Amino acid sequence: MKNKQGDKFMAKATVKAASLQSRHEGAVPEAVLAPAGRGASVRVESATASADLEHLLESVSGSKLLICIRGYPDPDNIGSSLALQWLARHHGIESRIIHFEEISHHENRALVKKLDIELDEWHEGFDCSKFDYYAITDSQTAELPIKLPPSCQLLVFVDHHKPLGNIQGKFVDIRENSGSTSAIFGEYLLESPHSFAGPSPEVTKIATALMHGIRSDTDNFVNATMIDYRASEFLAKFVDKDLLALISRQSIPAKTMDLTQIALQRKDIRATFMFSGVGFVRDEDRDGIGQCADYLLHREGIETVIVYGVVGNEYIDGSLRTKSHTLDPDKWLKDVFGQDQDGSYYGGGRKDKGGFQIPLGFFASCSDKELLWILIKKTIDELFYDKIGVEGKPSMDGDGN
Ligand SMILES: [Mn+2]
């Protein structure tokens, strides 16, 4: 019965979104609507989005929702998940937030600990069968690393990246013109008839998490858009400023510092590009790769930095950071690495950052790690050199190890 109601909602939302599109000249993001037809997902836009979400949640009142954090938990997906949990609860929907990867970044561990956020880490014994629906926020795809029961359907999908493939959910709101998913959820809360207002410890917790999400995804508002500003203006009233400062001013872990030193030693500068292969990195230090790239981008004359390494002896993980006005990280990484056999891209990104992951597969069992790294580094570097049109000679700067 619930599904039937959900389908009804979908038809309504299609009509709403279509009428909106004609009203908003110039301000409509590229893909407001997915192609109509059987099973087509609905992409809604601001102004109806929050009302549509409220209607949908009301239509499945009494159900159980699994809110999934795809990839590594970060401020944007944690804040968004908390906000969705709050909205769902006001419609009598019980939910759990689950993540599949470890919380590896020290700031994110501080966020969860200081705000006392309840997240479940996936484990074999986790019972998915009781959930009627699932939701995904802040992710480019709706694929999960686990199999949910076939009856469990995608209820809510909200994101601000370029989507990978067609997302089929009952409510899909993808806004590439937002700097963060947290801002989109800030808008839902602002427009919610359930009055998101303090003072209450829960409102403070959610607002602080969302504000941290917006700040961290927009590089402290440098890349913020109107959606981020509007949400921040609203959330600021409820934020615990001391706590926010505490969460975002954590010291850099020694491991990240070490990794940055290695990245500097192994830097390979080609025109305005800096590449650095840091070798084998422990799984829990994986976020250090992105932090290294952030740091190296400060170097004068460098516009784009790519740091990569082998994480957990399982896959090659890389982070791209750029301040170039012309380089599109998403397109650049997709051009360099292409797709796997299933048609999924190895890399992607947005505005000023991107990343890639390439499984080592069979080669993970190679006993000579030194040799394996030489092979990996040569292969990756040649792809980069080819892309930017330089020969694979030793660089003028750095030893290029
Ligand atoms: Mn995000």
Question: Rounded to the nearest whole angstrom, what is the distance from the C-alpha of residue 180 to the centroid of ligand 1?
Answer: 5
Residue that is last in its domain, among 210, 233, 248: 248
Question: Rounded to the nearest whole angstrom, what is the distance from the C-alpha of residue 50 to the centroid of ligand 1?
Answer: 19
- The answer to whether residues 161 and 290 belong to one domain is no
Residues 10 and 5: their CA atoms lie apart, in Å, by: 9
> Has residue 371 been placed in a domain?
yes
Note the helical H segments in 141-200.
181-191
> Has residue 398 been placed in a domain?
no
Question: Rounded to the nearest whole angstrom, what is the distance from the C-alpha of residue 70 to the centroid of ligand 1?
Answer: 11
Question: Rounded to the nearest whole angstrom, what is the distance from the C-alpha of residue 201 to the centroid of ligand 1?
Answer: 25
Q: Average pLDDT of 55-63? A: 97
Each residue of 313-354: pLDDT tens digit?
999 999 999 999 899 999 999 999 999 998 899 999 887 899
Q: What is the mean pLDDT of the chain?
A: 85
Q: Average pLDDT of 111-123? A: 91
Question: Rounded to the nearest whole angstrom, what is the distance from the C-alpha of residue 95 to the centroid of ligand 1?
Answer: 21
Residue 2 is predicted with a pLDDT of: 40
- The answer to whether residues 166 and 148 belong to one domain is yes
Question: Rounded to the nearest whole angstrom, what is the distance from the C-alpha of residue 139 to the centroid of ligand 1?
Answer: 7
Q: Average pLDDT of 291-311? A: 93
Give me the domain span that covers residue 187: 2-248
- The answer to whether residues 146 and 163 belong to one domain is yes
Kindly list the distances between the CA atom of residue 270 and the CA atoms of 206, 208, 233, 382, 394, in Å, as whole numbers in the listed order: 44, 41, 42, 12, 10
> Has residue 396 been placed in a domain?
no
- The answer to whether residues 216 and 68 belong to one domain is yes
Residue 335 is predicted with a pLDDT of: 94
CATH number at residue 107: 3.90.1640.10
Pairing assessment for the beta strands 353-359 and 304-311 based on DSSP bridges: unpaired
- The answer to whether residues 226 and 105 belong to one domain is yes
Task: Strand 120-121: give its sheet, edge to edge.
Answer: 120-121, 94-99, 64-69, 133-137, 153-159, 171-174
Whether the upstream peptide bond of residue 199 has omega within 30° of 0, thus cis, is yes
Residues 331 and 351: their CA atoms lie apart, in Å, by: 10
Neighbours of ion ligand 1 (CB under 5 A): 76, 138, 181, 217
Residue 394 is predicted with a pLDDT of: 56
- The answer to whether residues 171 and 276 belong to one domain is no
- The answer to whether residues 152 and 60 belong to one domain is yes
Q: Give the confidence band of 56 by pLDDT, cuts at 50, 70, 90.
A: very high
Q: Give the confidence band of 98 by pLDDT, cuts at 50, 70, 90.
A: very high
Question: Rounded to the nearest whole angstrom, what is the distance from the C-alpha of residue 219 to the centroid of ligand 1?
Answer: 11
Residue that is last in its domain, among 223, 248, 273: 248
Each residue of 295-304: pLDDT tens digit?
899 888 999 9
Each residue of 182-234: pLDDT tens digit?
999 999 999 999 999 978 999 999 999 999 999 999 988 988 999 999 999 99
194's CB contacts (< 8 A; 6+ apart) are 87, 90
| The model's pTM | 0.63
Residue 22 is predicted with a pLDDT of: 34
Residue 41 is predicted with a pLDDT of: 44
Residue 248 is predicted with a pLDDT of: 77
- The answer to whether residues 99 and 204 belong to one domain is yes
Residue that is last in its domain, among 211, 230, 248: 248
Domain count, the chain: 2
| Residues above pLDDT 70, as percent of the chain | 85
39-53, 126-140, 252-266, 329-343: the lowest-pLDDT one: 39-53
Question: Rounded to the nearest whole angstrom, what is the distance from the C-alpha of residue 271 to the centroid of ligand 1?
Answer: 30
Each residue of 226-248: pLDDT tens digit?
999 999 999 999 999 988 888 87
Each residue of 356-396: pLDDT tens digit?
999 999 999 999 999 999 999 999 999 999 999 887 665 54
Question: Rounded to the nearest whole angstrom, what is the distance from the C-alpha of residue 396 to the centroid of ligand 1?
Answer: 37
> Has residue 397 been placed in a domain?
no
Question: Rounded to the nearest whole angstrom, what is the distance from the C-alpha of residue 181 to the centroid of ligand 1?
Answer: 5
pLDDT at 104 over 70: yes
3-state class of 131 per DSSP? Answer: coil
Residue 316 is predicted with a pLDDT of: 96
> Has residue 239 been placed in a domain?
yes
- The answer to whether residues 268 and 188 belong to one domain is no
Contact 350, 329 (CB under 8 A): yes
- The answer to whether residues 268 and 239 belong to one domain is no
- The answer to whether residues 125 and 262 belong to one domain is no
Question: Rounded to the nearest whole angstrom, what is the distance from the C-alpha of residue 222 to the centroid of ligand 1?
Answer: 14
